[in-house]
Structure 1
């Protein structure tokens, strides 16, 4: 049994008990081939729940601090996140975005699922913020379909800045696959990249029911 299967078998029932997790539209995730899962990001536990509700393993970029912690807690976090598919990348500095993009492309070229939060960071107030165009570059470079998803309720169980999450109800909702083959070869056109990204974020907004803010979340946090 792989570590991913072991973690899912061990923690899946606990997650369903704690969060009463409801999954909608899981059949929209293709059973094979490269897929991009793109959704909203409300709180830390999003990245714990998403891998455990998907039949296929989801690979995603995470902060390298998640796997470099000290003590028992640090070791457990590293074991969990690397086991479910997190690939640590130092996203600070000018090369961080390029490293994340290339990592995502490699995962997709291998025929796997790559999960991404187009907002680039957690929402500071529960609203949905403008998506960054890395999601568009990935789908246009690889031809992988985009399956939008929405996390609903996680911010109520673990508000920003809080510690252990409360028990409660979480819904994970997946939308229909989106494909952008009509834009093939246009992954350097900034207008196309923005149009593709905005269309994905519109679907995420419809799935989540969040209010949309046409501003980057990082700018909102800084303000």
Structure 2
């Protein structure tokens, strides 16, 4: 059976009535900017306080959950998958990337016991205020112009993280337009080999159906966040073989849902 393009597939059913969606989006339009600016600037004032990253992570997680609620979007994860992530340690998380909603959906679905951070391209950290905020929040600054420097930075940051914290990487590098998963870059596999961590693959479903490329207002519906078993790198094989094996395992799960 052939795969359908995102624009050819119907979006998941809306989870709120039209009236409720209008009310929520008006609330987001009126109050959202103030709340989210507060979340963005907290690191400028509090980044050096004891335990900052712990409570700030929970603040950001709640902010992501409230944003999706106001957009009438919910995430779906089984209790078994929640338990897997709650117990997850010593991993690097990789997720596919199809929409601007992906990071928010992951943050909303994660159990609070599981901490994550993201790798941010160096250009986002050039401004002094953003640099201080990102560093205080624990984001990993990566210079994508130099692969070797980026890998060294990423490796050092992962080695300094507590075991229950994982950096989240998008192996496709950017949102993909393909019917299935895009080509994977080797960064996650190289970082896992350098640090001895496993890779925890997570597949995001339906985010592109709610917010396709070129659209700015998402539809209401449900995003499925599917947690896969840990992926172990095989030092006896080449990096390319590990990358291919990782992509194939995630692609099989992603394509299986499309065919349903």
Calculate the TM-score normalised by the size of structure 2: 0.63
Structure 1 residue runs of 5 or longer lacking an equivalent are: 212-223
How many angstroms does 1:85 deviate by? 5.3
Could you tell me how far apart the structure 2 residues matched to 1:121 and 1:210 are?
Answer: 22
Deviations 1:130-189 (A, max 9, x none): 211112111111111111111101101111122132221101101001222x41xx6xxx
Assess, with a 3 A threshold, how the Cα gap between structure 1 residues 39 and 8 changes in structure 2: closer, same or farther: closer
Residue 153 of structure 2 aligns with which residue?
103
SS at match of 1:128: coil
SS at match of 1:169: strand
Are positions 1:19 and 2:73 aligned together?
Answer: yes
Deviations 1:101-145 (A, max 9, x none): 233312321233011111111102442122111121111111111
Question: How do 1:104-123 and structure 2 match up within 5 A?
Answer: 104-109=154-159, 110=161, 111=163, 112-123=165-176
Calculate the TM-score normalised by the size of structure 1: 0.73
How many angstroms does 1:66 deviate by? 5.2
Could you tell me how far apart the structure 2 residues matched to 1:105 and 1:158 are?
Answer: 33
Are positions 1:38 and 2:94 aligned together?
Answer: yes
Question: How do 1:94-173 and structure 2 match up within 5 A?
Answer: 95=146, 97-109=147-159, 110=161, 111=163, 112-173=165-226
Query: Which residue of 61, 66, 85 corresponds with 1:8?
Result: 61
Residue 247 of structure 2 aligns with which residue?
201
Query: After alignment, is 1-10 or 113-122 more displaced?
Result: 1-10
Conservation of the 8 A alpha-carbon contact between 2:75 and 2:108: no
Residue 24 of structure 2 aligns with which residue?
none
Conservation of the 8 A alpha-carbon contact between 2:151 and 2:187: yes
Q: Output the aligned Cα RMSD.
A: 3.0
Query: After alignment, is 9-18 or 132-141 more displaced?
Result: 9-18
Could you tell me how far apart the structure 1 residues matched to 2:185 and 2:243 are?
Answer: 7
How many angstroms does 1:88 deviate by? 4.2
Conservation of the 8 A alpha-carbon contact between 1:39 and 1:118: yes
How many angstroms does 1:11 deviate by? 3.8
Residue 119 of structure 2 aligns with which residue?
61
Deviations 1:47-85 (A, max 9, x none): 22223322322112124565679xxxx98xx97x77875
Conservation of the 8 A alpha-carbon contact between 1:61 and 1:87: yes
Larger Rg: 2
Aligned residues: 194
Structure 2 residue runs of 5 or longer lacking an equivalent are: 1-53
